[in-house]
């Protein structure tokens, strides 16, 4: 019997249980947290570490799906809103600053300096930073900590998920109170915007709409996906052309915004093509497959520095966000949620936000209102910390550790 279908079923059960527990607990236990715990114990008790390959999912396919998903996310953000998100970028960077300060000031008092410096870059974001610091540990012959960077990258999300969900839920409640007090004005604004920015087919137009929309009968899944993939290819080609001077993820997001504004892309193209759910499954399974690297023996050796570093990092993010949220017009809850995206990035920032929105929105109007208020800053914050800040920080600490060894 081919085992690929069995492993796919097991993986889907883990994801489904995560959703079920999240719904029953009203997102007290976020789905990504529950699923990550299930995968962790699954690997410890028999799930093959290469289950993702046995299913037929490889890195090339995942990279394609991530690329089109980020363009899709860009299609959801109006350009005029993005221009206002410089405050989000600064808020995200301040969260990373909180991680660095608390680990350097308090972490060095508890742990040795090398351990703290190896921990900081993966604590602030992406897998690239984690792999860079893993390579540094090998060069310094710190065999015990060879897997510390990647373990931190995987495990600190388990703290970030419930923390973020807590603040997002408080923010959703706050926004819905505002919505309830101003519901008529909001509805009139939406109606006016829809009437001014729609064509005969109901497609929301961008301010710089230049390309006539395709008639609805030609907007088949194949056509929608072809256009979406074309835009993703444009962004990746430019990234290669400029030798990665700008992160490809930033370019993908920007191209999604711009090409939606000029009319080449529809809003939410993956949903229009009915493939968003499948793309999300593939990407999340690949993300969770990384948990296989966290073995009981590795966790046993690293548990003490891991707990210290993650606790200090989370505290630093929350404290800095609480001190600075008023500077940029965010609520305390939203600022903290944005800053916490450095613990996981995309796609978990999207999953957590949408999960909370669906939990609290009682109708499509409220859901749309919450999405416009919460989703763009969470996505921009995640891309800022994980794809830019963490790599810059990893570069600095790599040079410092190697030159001062």
Q: Answer whether residue 365 is part of any domain.
A: yes
Q: How far apart are CA 224 and CA 357, in angstroms?
A: 26
Contact 103, 116 (CB under 8 A): yes
Q: Answer whether residue 188 is part of any domain.
A: yes
Range of the domain at 336: 59-403
For residue 361, report the phi and psi dihedrals to the nearest 5 degrees. -75, 130
Q: How far apart are CA 50 and CA 143, in angstroms?
A: 24
Q: How far apart are CA 126 and CA 382, in angstroms?
A: 10
| pLDDT in the model for residue 243 | 86
Predicted confidence (pLDDT) per residue in 217-246, tens digit: 888 999 999 999 999 999 999 999 998 787
Q: Answer whether residue 156 is part of any domain.
A: yes
Q: Answer whether residue 269 is part of any domain.
A: yes
Q: How far apart are CA 298 and CA 44, in angstroms?
A: 12
Q: Answer whether residue 18 is part of any domain.
A: no
| pLDDT in the model for residue 382 | 83
Q: How far is CA 194 from the centre of its chain?
A: 29
| pLDDT in the model for residue 10 | 94
The overall longest dimension of the chain from CA atoms, in Å, is 66
- Dig out the tokens for 350 from the structure: 């999207």
Q: Answer whether residue 26 is part of any domain.
A: no
When pLDDT is averaged across residues 314-334 and rounded to a whole number, the result is 92
Q: Answer whether residue 43 is part of any domain.
A: no
How many domains is the chain built from?
1
Q: Answer whether residue 102 is part of any domain.
A: yes
When pLDDT is averaged across residues 241-252 and rounded to a whole number, the result is 82
Predicted confidence (pLDDT) per residue in 169-207, tens digit: 999 999 999 888 776 545 544 444 444 444 433 355 555
Q: How far apart are CA 207 and CA 143, in angstroms?
A: 55
Predicted confidence (pLDDT) per residue in 143-177, tens digit: 666 677 777 877 788 888 889 999 999 999 999 99
């Amino acid at each position: 019997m081919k085992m690929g279908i069995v492993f796919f079923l097991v993986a889907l059960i883990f994801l489904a249980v995560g959703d079920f527990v999240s719904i029953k607990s009203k997102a007290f236990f976020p789905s990504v947290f529950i699923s990550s715990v299930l995968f962790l114990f699954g690997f410890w008790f028999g799930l093959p570490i290469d289950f993702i390959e046995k299913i037929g999912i490889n890195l090339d396919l995942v990279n394609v799906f991530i690329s089109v998903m980020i363009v899709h996310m860009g299609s959801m953000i109006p350009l005029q809103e993005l221009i206002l998100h410089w405050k989000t970028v600064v808020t995200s960077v301040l969260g990373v600053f909180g991680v660095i300060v608390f680990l350097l000031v308090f972490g060095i008092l508890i742990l040795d300096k090398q351990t703290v410096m190896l921990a900081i870059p993966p604590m602030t974001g992406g897998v690239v930073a984690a792999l860079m610091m893993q390579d540094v540990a090998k060069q310094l012959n710190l065999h015990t900590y060879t897997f510390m960077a990647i373990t931190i990258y995987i495990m600190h999300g388990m703290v970030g998920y419930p923390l973020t969900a807590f603040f997002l839920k408080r923010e959703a409640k706050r926004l819905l109170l505002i919505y309830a007090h101003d519901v008529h004005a909001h509805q009139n604004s939406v109606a006016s915007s829809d009437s001014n920015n729609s064509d005969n087919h109901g497609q929301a137009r961008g301010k710089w709409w230049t390309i006539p929309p395709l008639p609805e009968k030609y907007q088949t899944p194949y056509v929608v996906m072809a256009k979406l993939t074309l835009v993703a290819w444009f962004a990746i080609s430019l990234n290669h052309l400029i030798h990665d001077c700008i992160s490809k993820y930033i370019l993908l997001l920007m191209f999604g915004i711009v090409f939606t504004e000029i009319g080449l892309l529809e809003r939410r193209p993956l949903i229009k093509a009915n493939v968003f759910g499948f793309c999300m499954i593939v990407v999340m399974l690949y993300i969770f497959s990384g948990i296989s690297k966290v073995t009981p023996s590795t966790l046993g050796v690293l548990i003490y520095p891991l707990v210290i570093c993650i606790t200090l990092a989370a505290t630093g993010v929350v404290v800095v966000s609480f001190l600075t949220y008023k500077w940029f017009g965010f609520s305390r809850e939203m600022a903290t949620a944005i800053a916490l995206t450095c613990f996981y990035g995309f796609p978990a920032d999207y999953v957590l936000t949408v999960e909370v929105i669906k939990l609290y929105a009682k109708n499509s109007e409220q859901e749309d209102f919450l999405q416009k208020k919460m989703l763009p800053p969470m996505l921009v914050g995640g891309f800022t910390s994980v794809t830019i800040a963490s790599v810059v920080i990893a570069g600095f600490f790599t040079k410092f550790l190697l030159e001062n060894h």
